[in-house]
Structure 1
Amino acid sequence: MTQTISQVPGAEQKLLKRRRPLVWLATVAVAAVVVPVLFSMFTNERFRWGVVISYLFDPDILAGLGRTLLLTAVSMSIAVVLGIVLAVMAGANNLLLNSISKAYIWIFRGTPVLVQILVWFNLAALYPTLVLGLPFGATLGKWSTNDLITPFSAAILGLALNEAAYMAEIVRAGLTSVDRGQHEAAQALGMHKSLLFRKIALPQAMRIIVPPTGNETINMLKNSALVSVIALPELLYSAQIIASQNFQVIPLLLVATIWYLVITSILTLIQSRLEKKFAVRTHTNTARKVPVQ
């Protein structure tokens, strides 16, 4: 004969009476540190919260925020598409495609994104002109590198191509998590590889791909601040420009920090919703049972 915990006389009361002294001690210790810090932040006049609030919706700050969001969206979209292509190439039974994918990932994942942004921004030093044409054939077009590689395009290239290397590994991990028997069953039914990828492999891999992709999107948002080194007026650089004029460095940095936290929180919420959407839903009975003599 078995009964659940709730059916055992006195079991629920025993669980409720259980004490966790270490948890309470840790809570008190953390509160003893956090509360004074927060009190100091909001009472220290040097933070100049009035200045922070006055610049929070400044037109230049909002314009910089818009560029940051645009950089994040465009770069991440390119990175996801290119990452899928690289992951498929890495899994292909073709030595050339496999080698190109691995070399790409090795180079772009092995060098700092800041270095890559600077290389793209200074590409004209290596190639003053960019030529489109057939090898040893007619030239279809010729452009000045300085005209094509603007600060914005250099930022997109640096962020997107670097992130694509990480996305390739994430997608590859997701695809390899799909049971091999699913591939064999689809091939036995005569399903083409491209259809198998789109209808079977990728949808099932999404539950593995989505969580790290959400984290990478948040990292992309923060990494966009690196493009300030090439004088692209995104959120951080816009705040720095204003601070150089009014000398309110800390308040303007706090303005940028607040907006980063707001957007990060929104992205985290979206990530949570997507994870729930792609999660595998299982209905199991989790009621614990204990034997009764």
Structure 2
Amino acid sequence: MSMDYILRIMKPMLEGAQMTVILFFITLILSIPLGFIVTLLAKSRIKPIAWLMHTYIYVIRGTPLLLQLLFFCFGLPMLPVIGEYLVLDRTTAALLAFVLNYAAYFAEIFRGGMLSIDKGQYEASQVLGLSKSQTLIRVIVPQMVRIALPAVTNEATTLVKDTALLYAVAVPELLHFANTAVNRDFTIVPYFVAAMIYLLLALVLTLFFRALEKRFKFE
């Protein structure tokens, strides 16, 4: 295929990539703090709250993201009694599914990070007269971030690729436009172009997180 053809299909595909990037950033911005809150609630001494959080994590991590997308996009309106109040546009429903899914995974990452911190850190904080909230903010969280950052990087890279699942619920993103061009022009070139865009996004993301890891490592 000529370069003219590639340039011609790039415009709609870049529009689709814009949706991919928007979904990625919104999901990351919302799911990371939500995941941390879930981690704290899962450690709550109030058993029903802790049980609810553990159940949420188990259900989300134990079912496919695609199934969750289909449920939020098509299943919510079909729920008895409350379904008519849960009708969302496809993009909003998909975003909700992504945020809840990745929050559960980040919650497990943060839990692992907190478990790896020596108990002596908590005892030392008590000796210094720090409250539980001060211990969490000043002592635990900074160490947890350093420990959890590589795993967060992996999840963020996976998120870039998982945005392709939006194709299954008819949200126009990068893969949607690539597949449209393939079906229209009977060529697989759009798939290669889409792959290059995904790889570029993953590369930028990897470089950013590596710089972030180095900063936390040497501070």
Q: TM-score when scaled to structure 1? A: 0.70
Question: Between Structure 1 and Structure 2, which shows a larger proportion of strand residues?
Answer: 1
Correspondence for 1:204 = 143
Q: Which residue of 2 aligns with 1:68?
A: 20
Percent identity between the two aligned chains: 33
The match for 1:128 is 83
Larger-Rg structure? 1
Work out which of the residue numbers 141, 165, 183 in structure 1 matches 2:104: 165
Q: Give the aligned residue type for 1:259.
A: I
Shift of residue 62, structure 1, vs aligned partner = 1.3
The aligned counterpart of 1:156 is 95
| Distance (whole Å) between structure 1 residues aligned to residue 161 and residue 68 of structure 2 | 16
* Offset at residue 188 of structure 1 (A): 2.6
Which of the numbers 51, 65, 69 marks the counterpart of 1:113?
Answer: 65
**1:54 and 2:13 matched:** no
One-letter amino acid matched to 2:93: A
Residue 81 of structure 1, aligned match among 33, 44, 49? 33
SS of aligned partner of 1:92 = coil
Residue range with higher mean Cα deviation, 211-220 or 234-243: 234-243
Equivalent residue number for residue 247 of structure 1: 186
1:39-87 superposed Cα distances (whole Å, 9 cap, x missing partner): xxxxxxxxx363663246x321111111000111111222111110111
SS state of the match for residue 117, structure 2? coil
Q: CA RMSD in A?
A: 1.7
The 3-state SS of whatever aligns with 2:171 is coil
CA contact (8 A) 2:78 2:84 kept: no
Q: State the 1:89 CA deviation.
A: 1.5
DSSP-derived class of the 1:279 partner: helix
Pairwise CA distance, 1:100: 1.3
Moved over 3 A (4+): 48-53
Identify unmatched segments of 5+ residues in structure 1: 1-47, 131-144, 282-293
- Displacement of 1:211 in angstroms is 0.6
Cα deviation, residue 104, structure 1: 0.6
Evaluate the alpha carbon distance shift between residue 233 and residue 93 of structure 1 in structure 2; reply closer, same or farther with a 3 A threshold. same
Provide, for residues 85-131 of structure 1, a one-character-per-residue CA deviation record: whole Å limited to 9, x for no partner: 1111222323122211110111000000000000000111114322x
Deviation at 1:244, TM superposition (A): 2.8
Aligned equivalents of 1:165, 1:199: Cα separation in 2 = 24
Structure 1 Cα separation of the partners of residues 141 and 93 of structure 2:
31
Contact 2:61-2:105 within 8 A present in 1 as well? yes
Per-residue CA distance 1:187-206 (angstroms, 9 max, x = gap):
23332212211111000111
Structure 1 position 270 matched with structure 2 position 215: no
Q: Partner amino acid for 2:39?
A: A
More helix, by proportion: 2
The change in CA–CA distance for 1:187 and 1:220 in structure 2 (over 3 A counts) is same
Q: 2:131 — aligned with what?
A: 192
Contact 2:68 / 2:97 at 8 angstroms: preserved in 1? yes
Count of matched residue pairs:
216
The alignment's TM-score, normalised by the length of structure 2, stands at 0.92
